[in-house]
A and B are shown apart, each in its own frame.
Chain A
Amino acid sequence: MQFQTFSSPHTDRPNSVDKVMLQVILALLPGVLAMTWYFGPGVLINILIATLSAVAFEALVLKLRKRPVMSTLYDLSAVVTAILFAIAVPPLLPWWLTVIGMAFAIIMVKQLYGGLGYNPFNPAMAAYVLLLISWPIPMTSWLPPAVLSANPLDFMQIVSAIFTGSPPTGLEWDAITMATPLDGMRTSLDQGHMISEIFQSPVWGDFGGLGWEWVGNWFLMGGLWLIYKRTITWHIPLAFFAGLTGLAMIAFLFDPESYPFALFHVFSGGAILGAFFIATDPVTACTTRKGQLIYGVAIGMLVYIIRTWGGYPDAVAFAVLLLNMAAPTIDYYTQPQVFGHGDNHG
């Protein structure tokens, strides 16, 4: 009798890439729903546009590269990139910017480097940064949370705004959009206001922007679930928060009227999303445990530095991309001690 031969181990493999990606998508759901609740269905429309274009671009490039198309799409990595990108951009972003972003992310940042696993940079964040630098106005025109909105938009108005790129008839952009809380805080601080004064405004909740902090809470839930499911480990998120709050705390103690307290930074902007879902992207992050701690702390500190003294209100994307570049070097210098190489011999 003849038998097939495979290499050991001969076991039922418990993990798979699509399972990992699916878990990430599931973990994003609560936050996505919360965003939809506060910022309207534009979030979902963006996700839809981004996903469709990401999958289409991925299929196209795979075809051109003569790689298997269906089995690769099935790994869901393009969908994860699309969702991360779509929830990072403003809910009324014109559709063509989303498509450009996805084209850049999938074609340039991911596939031209060799596809999933070979890209040195996080595709969603690279696309976000490209758009932020090239089209700063639409990329920073956020909707106010529904609870604060003076001119709530209905579904058709949102659809038309996204697909035409112009505000609904009878309204100006300025009337319906609002700076993000981080942006608002910076502008106010630049104008010489005190923090206690700034927090008088109704746009603030307990820690961060009203509505924003709850979106953050739900992403936090998803992130903790991922840690529980062992899809990610605690190292990068914890190190990220340590780096961010560490610097924030020092600055706050130094001058509480010019530097917001640490939790404000945690619950504002993309900090939580970044800590659990973006910095932990395994392909572009460090892989050694020690390296992951360094990587997380460095991203957290960079986020604080750029937010406080840099040219942009939020900085998760920049910080992550900068550390993506450093990841191989960090990995190289943080190799664990291999069994039998230490002095634990006697």
Chain B
Amino acid sequence: MLIAILTITGLATAFGLLLGYANIRFHVEGDPVTDQIEALLPQTQCGQCGFAGCRPYAEAIAGGESEINLCPPGGEATMIALSDLLGRDPVPLSEETAEEKPKAIALIKEQECIGCTLCLQACPVDAIIGAAKQMHVVIVSECTGCERCLPPCPVDCIVMEPISQESGGWRWPFPNSEHPEIVSAPPQ
């Protein structure tokens, strides 16, 4: 009896020490999950998920307050990546979210812009330059296509212009084994 108790106690102490050591040895600083989630988001800062930007959405997901299927620019790929990362079940995208829009950037119609600077303040990445009563211009290379500048514009002079597909950025389509022909671009 005594031997049994001693053995159990000895084992418990040994494992306890082991666990304690492991806790110190493999300690992880901070909360890396939020960073990892944020890395998967497209960083358009569009707010279409209902949060102020990608970071707040990542925090909401990490906190378990939000679903993983709310990011329209990321689409299904982002949702799958998030479900892989977090071990959550994939959630189908809502119809609105799933609608794949061609990648576009904002364009300000020069004749109509009144120079109100409202879009300047809305742009999450400072991609619009201009000043009061001066025409505003979107910096093409910085625009993420988030559409946040559209609602504030009092004269609706901002349009989303799809990025034209050129042979330079062309991607080989996924091979269709049933129909081996390459699906080409629409006939010119």
Contacts and interface: CB of A to CB of B under 8 A. Distances in A.
Q: Are A and B direct contacts in the complex by CB distance below 8 Å?
A: yes
A4 interface: yes
Secondary structure at the B interface, as helix, strand, loop or mixed, is loop
A4 B181 CA distance: 7
B180 A6 contact: yes
A73 B187 CA distance: 38
Contacts, number: 11
B181 A6 contact: yes
B182 A5 contact: yes
Secondary structure at the A interface, as helix, strand, loop or mixed, is loop
Nearest to A7: B182
Interface string A14-37: 000000000000000000000000
A7 B187 contact: no
B164 interface: no
B186 to A, nearest CB: 13
B32 interface: no
B174 to A, nearest CB: 12
Contacts of B184: 5
Chain B interface bracket (under 10, 10 to 19, 20 to 34, 35 or more): under 10
Contacts of B180: 6-7
A2 B181 CA distance: 14
B9 to A, nearest CB: 41
B175 interface: yes
Interface in B160-182: 175, 180-182
Nearest to B183: A5
A6 B187 contact: no
A152 to B, nearest CB: 53
Contact of A2 (B175, B182, B187): B187
Interface string B138-179: 000000000000000000000000000000000000010000
Nearest to B180: A6
Given A6-B180, A6-B181, A6-B182, 8 more contacts: A2-B187, A4-B181, A5-B181, A5-B182, A5-B184, A7-B175, A7-B180, A7-B182
Interface of A: 2, 4-7
Interface of B: 175, 180-182, 184, 187
